[in-house]
């Protein structure tokens, strides 16, 4: 493993023994499937950093499925009807070397409606031919009920208890030979408070907070996580040059998860009086349209960038 490897990937569980189960009943169910050497088609739902993709890969590996019998797709880019009719349909029609073949759709909640309709037909056609579908998603309500109803089993991946969460990130520090002295424990708690229950995010902050083999507060965790609210307040209540601010806004949005972007929309809406004064009716219209587009967008940060820019122009009397 290279020194530059991200800790989240470096310490990704390689077996069920390494995986931290939030629900023992789920563990029992998965182990039953492995014993029987079969699974139903699955929707693994839950917030970011809860191990959905990791669990999917562990299941695939434990079933002994050859990599050539797994079609891996991302809903953020492979989300159109053409992909369903070519890549997915053709894969399902081919024979394989494994007892099961898997179509693994990461970020399946970003599939377009027309793509989902095409996919529903394919699931029906090949369910008896040893093809299984695994979806992972942060927002299961965005997947059409007709796709999953009676076709797939939805499993909600619960967040880890806080003690297990802290143990998981503390074990990484131990594995990296970093001393868990009192200052390090303070930083560890700060990272937990800022990132829980997202493990991926915690690992990223953890790795960036290590200097010369020690965990320090070199990375301003709380500021990095919560900076957008104060920045947006200043951006929308004071006069700013829109062109000059665009790069800063883009950098802020790229660091946010889709869930956090949803929180930005809520913040803008709930603080309408303070941020927009007598222009809040027009502002609410812009925010509402942006949030609707956000839920099906390939690049949700671009949608939010447009909303923020238009709100700035509104407050500047240019919208």
- 213 plus 288 within the same structural domain: no
Give me the long-range contacts of 185-191 (CB less than 8 A, separation at least 24). Answer: 186/217, 187/215, 187/216, 187/217, 187/221, 188/215, 190/217, 190/221, 190/222, 191/221
* Mean residue pLDDT across the chain: 87
- Distance CA(229)–CA(305), nearest Å, equals 14
CATH number for the domain that contains residue 149: 3.40.50.300
- 112 plus 143 within the same structural domain: yes
Of 59-68, 80-89, 288-297, minimum mean pLDDT range = 288-297
- 277 plus 305 within the same structural domain: yes
Give the N- to C-terminal CA distance of the chain in Å, as an integer. 52
pLDDT single digits (tens) 131-142: 999 999 987 888
Mean of the pLDDT values across residues 173-178? Answer: 91
- Distance CA(177)–CA(197), nearest Å, equals 24
* Report field, pTM of the whole predicted structure over 0.85: no
- 176 plus 100 within the same structural domain: no
Assigned domain for 191 exists: yes
Domain assignment of residue 256, given as a range: 225-315
């Amino acid at each position: 493993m290279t020194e530059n490897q991200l800790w989240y990937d470096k310490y990704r569980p390689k077996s069920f023994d390494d995986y931290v189960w939030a629900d023992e009943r789920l563990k029992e169910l998965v182990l039953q499937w492995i014993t029987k050497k079969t699974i139903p088609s699955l929707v693994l739902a839950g917030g970011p950093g809860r191990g959905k993709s990791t669990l999917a890969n562990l299941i695939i590996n434990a079933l002994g499925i050859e990599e050539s019998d797994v079609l891996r797709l991302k809903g953020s880019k492979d989300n159109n009807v053409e992909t369903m009719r070519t890549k997915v349909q053709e894969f399902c029609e081919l024979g394989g070397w494994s007892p099961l073949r898997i179509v693994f759709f990461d970020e399946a909640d970003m599939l377009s409606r027309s793509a989902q309709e095409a996919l529903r037909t394919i699931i029906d056609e090949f369910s008896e031919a040893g093809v299984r579908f695994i979806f992972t998603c942060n927002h299961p309500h965005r997947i059409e009920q007709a796709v999953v109803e009676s076709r797939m089993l939805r499993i909600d991946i619960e967040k880890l208890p806080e003690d297990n969460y802290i143990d998981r990130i503390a074990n990484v520090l131990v594995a990296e030979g970093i001393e868990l002295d009192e200052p390090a424990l303070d930083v560890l708690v700060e990272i937990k408070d800022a990132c829980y229950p997202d493990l991926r995010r915690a690992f990223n902050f953890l790795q960036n907070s290590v200097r010369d083999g020690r965990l320090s507060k070199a990375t301003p965790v709380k500021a990095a996580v919560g900076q957008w609210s104060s920045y947006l307040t200043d951006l929308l209540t004071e006069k700013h040059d829109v062109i000059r601010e665009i790069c800063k806004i883009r950098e802020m949005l790229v660091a946010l998860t889709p869930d956090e972007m949803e929180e930005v929309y809520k913040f803008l809406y709930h603080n309408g009086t303070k941020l927009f004064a007598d222009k809040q009716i027009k502002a609410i219209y812009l925010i509402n349209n942006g949030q609707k587009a956000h839920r099906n967008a390939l690049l949700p940060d671009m949608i939010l960038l447009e909303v923020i820019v238009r709100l700035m122009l509104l407050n500047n009397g240019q919208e």
